[in-house]
């Protein structure tokens, strides 16, 4: 297989995006992490271990947390990409696959585009995932096995080509063309294996394949407790021998956090804060804060589940309120530190402003949202939040202007955000004694989604008053 070389300056730029993507993934901002990883892959598209594999793990975690597939109105540049060049087609397919990580069609598109781009390692890696996915499906697709046989043969991975051919023959056992192809591929596989009998290239290729299998098992989130504990043990040993090496710090943090236990996460925080004290690199402090946020969010979720089972328990309700406050305090402190360390980063200001809004610090939030709206990724949401701040300050006319401005910026005026903005317009108009306008706003919401919040009840109430 070919092994393309990429200029070091492009790899450096890509690593910056991968690093940021990993950081925001710790904060469970999966969609933003996906975009960052794809931004990095646009510079270094054959970055398998650094880009493609972590991105797939994030996609699987996103799905496990209830993430939905890309829908109409998704404004991502990767979804909108024309896909005219093979590289653009690969990134588009990978974006869609990240939002729907078990979709075999997206996998196939990515394999094909990666192969056409000359990214052989990436194509082979995703081909293995596609083979496994098709094998696990309730009704394996014969055409996918044929496609994989062809790809593997072109990549000169004859053992895999033989496997794909055999699986296709299980579906159509009397296919003479496949039988002939299988004989030819088996001969080529035997010859290829013979070339590697010197225990050099063949051994390394087998080790690489074993590594891929290990990573794939992690990707599908089938990590057993024994596997996780062993990973922590190995990472601790490496870290002990190299306590200042960033790669061993990262490995230990990942292993500890994969266990999802407070004790190991507390250890991860200690390791990160120690690294921060020694290096003064804020990224370590940032990751430590993100773990604290993850813990606080998990604690709140557990209490909320208990409250749902026992809704009349006043003690539990008070614990939920306290846990909510503690989570917000941790987030406020974290995002304030991020803003101070990255004063030019509008995304950081946007996240901090959202916390300030939740904390009812409207006068502090508004200027930050106004800065954030100059970022195209946050423009509509920032204007919406500005309107909410004005609404809570009882500046209803200004709130109406903001909600209308945000609504006018929408491409899809029947999306989830469109419904929210129309509803917000209704609330602001109603509070400003514009009953007729409020009624029209609620009516439009109900026409799009009859069960959206209490829109239909408000329509009935305003009509009865009228």
Show Cβ contacts of residue 260 under 8 Å, excluding neighbours closer than 6 positions: 298
Confidence band of 184 (pLDDT split at 50, 70, 90)? confident
pLDDT tens digit string along 17-71? Answer: 888 888 777 667 788 889 889 999 988 898 888 899 989 888 888 887 777 777 6
For residue 157, which of 188, 183, 134, 136 has the smallest C-alpha distance? 188
Q: Identify whether the C-beta of residue 409 lies closer than 8 Å to the C-beta of residue 380.
A: yes
- Taking the C-alpha atoms of residue 94 and residue 440, their distance in angstroms, rounded to an integer, is 41
Looking at residue 9, its pLDDT comes to 81
Looking at residue 434, its pLDDT comes to 96
Which tops the pLDDT comparison, 138 or 299? 299
- Taking the C-alpha atoms of residue 153 and residue 192, their distance in angstroms, rounded to an integer, is 12
Which tops the pLDDT comparison, 69 or 100? 100
First to last CA, the chain: 74
Looking at residue 177, its pLDDT comes to 83
Using N-to-C axis directions, what is the helix angle for 416-431 and 379-392, rounded to 10°? 20
CA distances from 2 to 66, 120, 415 (A): 38, 6, 44
Q: In sequence order, what DSSP letters do the residues of 284-332 get, joined into one string?
A: HHHHHHHHHHHHHHHHHHHHHHHHHHSTT-HHHHHHHHHHHHHHHHHHH
Residues 402-414, mean pLDDT to the nearest whole number: 92
What's the DSSP call for residue 242? -
Q: In sequence order, what DSSP letters do the residues of 73-132 get, joined into one string?
A: T---HHHH----SHHHHHHHHHHHHHHSTT-HHHHHHHHHHHHHHT-HHHHHHHHHHHHH
For residue 409, which of 432, 429, 387, 437 has the smallest C-alpha distance? 387
Q: Identify whether the C-beta of residue 288 lies closer than 8 Å to the C-beta of residue 271.
A: no
Residues 326-345, mean pLDDT to the nearest whole number: 94
Looking at residue 323, its pLDDT comes to 94
Which tops the pLDDT comparison, 308 or 272? 272
Q: Identify whether the C-beta of residue 10 lies closer than 8 Å to the C-beta of residue 39.
A: no
Looking at residue 71, its pLDDT comes to 67
User: Domain extents for the chain?
Assistant: 8-219
User: With left for phi above 0 and alpha for psi between -120 and 50, is residue 360 left, alpha or beta?
Assistant: left
Looking at residue 4, its pLDDT comes to 60
- Taking the C-alpha atoms of residue 55 and residue 44, their distance in angstroms, rounded to an integer, is 14
What's the DSSP call for residue 313? -
Positive or negative torsion for Cα 41, 46, 49, 52: positive
Residues 405-416, mean pLDDT to the nearest whole number: 89
Structure pTM? 0.55
Looking at residue 197, its pLDDT comes to 47
Proportion of the chain above pLDDT 90, given as a percent: 46
Looking at residue 3, its pLDDT comes to 53
Q: Which CATH architecture has domain 8-219?
A: Alpha Horseshoe (1.25)
What tokens were used for 404? 């209308």
Among the ranges given (11-20, 124-133, 338-347), the one the predictor scored with the smallest mean pLDDT: 11-20
pLDDT tens digit string along 364-398? Answer: 999 999 999 988 888 999 999 999 999 999 999 99
What tokens were used for 297? 């969010």
Show Cβ contacts of residue 47 under 8 Å, excluding neighbours closer than 6 positions: 11, 14, 18, 40, 41
Looking at residue 220, its pLDDT comes to 37
Which tops the pLDDT comparison, 60 or 263? 263
What tokens were used for 111? 């394999």
Confidence band of 206 (pLDDT split at 50, 70, 90)? very low
Q: Tell me the residue length of the chain.
A: 466
pLDDT at residue 120 above 80?
yes
Please give the backbone phi and psi of residue 61, each rounded to the nearest 5 degrees, phi first: -70, -40
Looking at residue 218, its pLDDT comes to 46
Q: What is the separation of C-alpha 365 from the centre of its chain, rounded to a whole number of angstroms?
A: 27
Looking at residue 187, its pLDDT comes to 80
Residues 315-333, mean pLDDT to the nearest whole number: 95
Which tops the pLDDT comparison, 409 or 73? 409
């Amino acid at each position: 297989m070919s092994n393309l070389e990429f200029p070091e300056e492009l790899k450096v730029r890509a690593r910056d995006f991968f690093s940021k993507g990993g950081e925001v993934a710790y904060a469970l901002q999966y969609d933003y992490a996906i975009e960052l990883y794809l931004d990095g892959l646009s510079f270094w598209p054959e970055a398998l271990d650094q880009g493609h594999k972590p991105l797939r793990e994030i996609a699987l975690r996103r799905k496990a947390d209830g993430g939905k597939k890309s829908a109409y109105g998704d404004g991502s540049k990767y979804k909108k990409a024309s896909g005219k060049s093979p590289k653009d087609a690969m990134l588009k397919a990978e974006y869609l696959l990240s939002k729907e990580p078990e979709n075999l069609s997206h996998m196939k598109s990515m394999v094909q585009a990666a192969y056409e781009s000359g990214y052989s390692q990436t194509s082979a890696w995703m081909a293995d995932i596609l083979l496994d996915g098709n094998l696990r499906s309730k009704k394996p697709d014969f055409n996918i096995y044929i496609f994989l046989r062809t790809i593997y043969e072109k990549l000169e991975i004859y053992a895999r080509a033989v496997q794909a051919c055999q699986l296709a023959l299980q579906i159509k056992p009397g296919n003479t063309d496949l039988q002939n192809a299988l004989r030819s591929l088996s001969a080529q596989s035997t010859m290829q294996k013979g070339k590697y009998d010197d225990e050099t290239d063949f051994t390394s290729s087998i080790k690489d394949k074993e590594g891929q299998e290990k990573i794939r098992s992690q990707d599908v989130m089938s990590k057993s407790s024994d596997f996780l504990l062993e990973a922590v043990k190995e990472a601790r040993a490496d870290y002990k021998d190299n306590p200042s090496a960033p790669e061993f710090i990262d490995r230990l943090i990942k292993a500890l956090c994969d266990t999802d236990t407070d004790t190991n996460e507390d250890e991860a925080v200690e390791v990160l804060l120690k690294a921060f004290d020694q290096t003064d690199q804020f990224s370590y402090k940032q990751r430590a804060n993100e773990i604290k946020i993850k813990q606080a969010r998990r604690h709140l979720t557990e209490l909320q589940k208990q409250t749902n089972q026992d809704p009349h328990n006043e003690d539990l309700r008070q614990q939920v309120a306290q846990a909510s406050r503690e989570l917000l305090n941790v987030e406020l402190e974290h995002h304030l530190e991020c803003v101070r360390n990255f004063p030019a980063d509008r995304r950081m200001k946007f996240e901090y402003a959202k916390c300030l809004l939740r904390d009812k610090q409207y006068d502090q939030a508004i200027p930050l949202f106004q800065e954030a709206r100059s970022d195209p990724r946050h423009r509509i949401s920032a204007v919406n939040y500005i309107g909410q701040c004005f609404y809570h300050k009882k500046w209803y006319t200004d709130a109406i202007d903001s909600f209308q401005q945000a609504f006018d910026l929408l491409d899809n005026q029947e999306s989830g955000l469109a419904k929210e903005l129309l509803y917000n317009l209704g609330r602001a108009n109603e509070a400003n004694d514009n009953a007729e306008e409020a009624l029209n706003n609620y009516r439009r919401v109900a026409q799009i989604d009859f069960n959206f919040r209490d829109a239909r009840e408000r329509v009935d109430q305003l009509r009865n008053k009228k």
